[in-house]
């Protein structure tokens, strides 16, 4: 892709939108870990929160490579679209593990939608597509693991 100010701006905006949903997920999983009784589920949620933090750093690196600062990342217009993790916070206050797991499923589904939308826009470079695709695959795997917890 040839970099113009406009294509760079579009790519940065798309990447900032992903950072926003990742921030929500990181906070959501941290919050969920505080409210579940099961030590195993608590450990898994904290691991998912750490993974989201690593994903944020990867995407911030890509924004920095485009010559843009990530100081304001996560606050872009795309960040306001999906705030699923923040909206489901009330599920955590009850301490009901099933409700918390369902809330996490909702958050992951919102993240997957956002990632698929980012890839469909065709605004990213090959290296960014590779990172976003890898992260999407990991989030989809996490969703599968969380859904399996509902059955156990």
Stretch 140-145: mean pLDDT, rounded?
Answer: 97
Regarding predicted confidence, which is higher, 75 or 133? 133
Mean pLDDT for the chain overall: 85
Regarding predicted confidence, which is higher, 109 or 78? 109
Please report the pLDDT score of residue 131 as a whole number: 98
pLDDT category, 68, cuts 50, 70, 90?
confident
pTM (two decimals): 0.85
Q: Which fold would CATH assign to domain 2-150?
A: Ferritin (1.20.1260)
In the chain, where the domains are located: 2-150
Select from 86, 89, 97 the least CA-distant residue to 150. 97
Regarding predicted confidence, which is higher, 91 or 39? 39
The token duo for 18 is: 């992903």
Least confident range from 6-10, 46-50, 71-75, 98-102: namely 71-75
Percentage of the chain with pLDDT > 90? Answer: 55
Distances (CA, A) of 1 to 22, 67, 136: 26, 15, 22
């Amino acid at each position: 892709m040839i970099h113009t100010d406009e294509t760079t701006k579009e790519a940065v905006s798309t990447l900032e939108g992903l950072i926003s949903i990742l921030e929500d997920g990181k906070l959501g999983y941290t919050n969920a870990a505080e409210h579940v009784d099961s030590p195993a589920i608590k450990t898994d949620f904290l691991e998912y929160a750490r993974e989201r933090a690593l994903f944020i750093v990867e995407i911030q690196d890509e924004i920095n490579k485009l010559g843009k600062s990530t100081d304001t990342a996560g606050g872009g217009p795309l960040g306001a679209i999906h705030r699923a993790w923040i909206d489901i916070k009330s599920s955590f206050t009850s301490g009901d593990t099933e409700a918390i797991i369902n809330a996490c499923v909702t958050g992951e589904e919102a993240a997957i939608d956002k990632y698929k939308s980012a890839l469909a826009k065709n605004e990213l470079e090959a290296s960014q597509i590779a990172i976003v695709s890898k992260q999407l695959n990991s989030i989809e795997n996490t969703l599968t693991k969380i859904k399996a917890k509902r059955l156990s």
